Amino acid sequence: MLVELISGISFVYLFLNYNNYFEIIFLQTLVIIFLIIFFIDLKHFIIPDVLNFTLMGLAILKNFIPNFQSNFTYDFGQSIIGGIAGYLIIWFIIFLYKKIKNIEAMGFGDAKLMTGIGLFFGWQAVFLILFLSAILGLISVIPSLLNNSKNLKTQIPFGPYIVISSIIYYFTGNFLLNLVII
């Protein structure tokens, strides 16, 4: 029921705020994919490849669609560099943690998700979205750590925080980038 409510609210928002019907359909498709990723990762600690690859395909497709007034990067080179950076940063975290602690810190679903996010927003956004995701994840887990219902080895899904951070970045990205740069 929550998924349907969020989906309906997002559709009304997009319909009222965008004039291009193709853009509305494109953005609503993105919202649906984000919702599915959010709730599947939250419940099952996995992000299906089909969702990540669909996200990547949409991200590449948006570079070839004129007249979008969204807050994505439309420079194909920036998009590709963003996708590579998104994947490699998460891969590097997984690799280092495996070498140092000999356990998996994150899954490759998160790396593939960040590939799609990097393809949408470009390389500049990748670092900010990952930082914001980490902060949101930390804030959400602190109460559980304080009341001892979770410990530092408890598995938490990172995909939902990446999704939330990406949505925040979509609406406030230019402001956040200017805030960080200054």
Q: Report DSSP letters for 34-89, one per residue.
A: HHHHHHHHHHHS---HHHHHHHHHHHHHGGG-TT--SSS---HHHHHHHHHHHHHH
Residue pair 125/117 in contact (Cβ under 8 Å)? The answer is: yes
pLDDT > 80? residue 105: no
The residue among 152 and 120 whose pLDDT is bigger is 120
Distance CA 63, CA 66 (A): 8
Which two tokens mark 2? 């929550």
Provide the pLDDT for residue 182: 57
Find the domain containing 155 and state its range. Answer: 2-181
Residue pair 93/85 in contact (Cβ under 8 Å)? The answer is: no
Average pLDDT, the chain: 91
Element containing residue 9 per DSSP (H, E)? helix 2-17
Number of domains into which the chain is organized = 1
Distance CA 7, CA 13 (A): 10
Provide the pLDDT for residue 132: 95
Please provide residue 67's backbone torsions phi and psi, each rounded to the nearest 5 degrees: 70, 20
Distance CA 61, CA 120 (A): 10
The residue among 74 and 167 whose pLDDT is bigger is 167
pLDDT > 80? residue 116: yes
Provide the pLDDT for residue 68: 77
Distance CA 22, CA 19 (A): 9
Residue pair 138/109 in contact (Cβ under 8 Å)? The answer is: no
Distance CA 124, CA 112 (A): 17
pTM of the model: 0.92
